[in-house]
Amino acid sequence: MSRRTSKSEDEDAWVFDSLVGFLRGPVWNVPILTFIEHKSLIFEPDTDENEEEYKKIHDEFKNLVDFMLGSYMEDIGISSEQFEKACGVASTKIKTQFHHTLFEQVWAADDFEIFKSMMIQKNIELQLQALELLKQRYGVLPSSLRPGQEPEPEQSDDDQDNVEDGERKIMAEVAKKSMADHEANQDTMDEDTRAMEEAVANSGDEIKRLEAHRTNQHQLLAEHFKTKIDISDPSLVMGADYTSSLPEEQAPDAPIDEEELQKRTEFLRAQRDKLLAMKKEERERQLAEAEKDQLKSRPKSARAARSAFGRGRPSTGAGLDPEVLRIRRALAEKLKHEVIGDN
């Protein structure tokens, strides 16, 4: 191999690895995850009543993904043709560099069923997180929600878990703030609110209901990967937890009537909305820190992240640019062939 060819391949590999780093960093994840969380609230399991609205939000998500990818490509100054070429010599470490959440984000832009499942799961996850905060307040956290029950992920040279680490830090800060607010408001809390908090915190049925919905979504998504994307082992892109998650066995609650059950469900969703507001505050700090580092080196990406984070969507006029669309699809294909292989 000539020195010139080797240099060219090194440059191509750098392009792809640079994008991988971008997708695993806060400038990408803060606006993308904020969008997913806030837009997921209308995505309910076991209903297709909002299907048209789901598709509109999917179009917004496509625009956001392409807006962020396009801004980054402008920063590093390459064309879609150059990126497609770079995909051909991408790092052999790609399988360890990408977590299942990044697979979902990339593929969800092109696949409505993946997007829909991702959003439903996020809605369920947010309600479980809100329930976790309530249970922490009253000291009744079950083992499935207790921190420290799962081993900490091993750190690699690639720091492949930095997205999850960032989310854990956000939830830790939110939990502290939630507990502090709860203690500060103890004397002014009305009896009905206190009774509802305690009832939901002590309810095993809420966890079982949400976990059952989440498990069902995991199974539906696994089937979709098998049939539509021809993946024989969905855990390659979904994470092992996606195919092994089962509701924890708990003693059933005493029977309650439908009206009370509905009240508890609505209360938990209100707690979920409060959780979202606190998470957004923490993500604001995350993004501000990232901007300090990248405003000079990656100005377009940093400004795009700030714009998308503030509005919840790209700036007016952003659309599915054909060049950026080529980049996204080239990336999706590279992920499929390198990480999954030919099935």
pLDDT digits (tens, 9 = 90+) for 269-282: 999 999 999 999 99
pLDDT at residue 330, as a whole number: 80
Tell me how far apart the alpha carbons of residues 240 and 211 are, in angstroms, rounded to a whole number.
16
CATH architecture, domain 3-146+157-340? Up-down Bundle (1.20)
Q: What is the mean pLDDT of residues 78-87?
A: 79
The count of C-alpha atoms lying within 13 angstroms of the C-alpha of 19, restricted to the half-sphere facing its C-beta, is 33
Q: Which of 60 and 140 is assigned the larger pLDDT?
A: 60
pLDDT at residue 340, as a whole number: 64
From 213, 55, 60, 192, select the one nearest 127 (Cα to Cα): 213
Our measurement of the distance from residue 155's CA atom to the centroid of its chain's CA atoms, rounded to an integer in Å, reads 20
The 10 Å Cβ neighbour count of residue 136 is: 18
Q: Which of 233 and 82 is assigned the larger pLDDT?
A: 82
Q: What is the mean pLDDT of residues 19-33?
A: 88
pLDDT at residue 290, as a whole number: 87
pLDDT digits (tens, 9 = 90+) for 88-117: 665 555 656 666 677 778 888 888 998 999
Contact 226, 343 (CB under 8 A): no
Q: Which of 100 and 130 is assigned the larger pLDDT?
A: 130
Contact 301, 68 (CB under 8 A): yes
The 10 Å Cβ neighbour count of residue 251 is: 6
Contact 301, 19 (CB under 8 A): no
pLDDT at residue 25, as a whole number: 87
The 10 Å Cβ neighbour count of residue 128 is: 19
Structural domain boundaries in the chain: 3-146+157-340
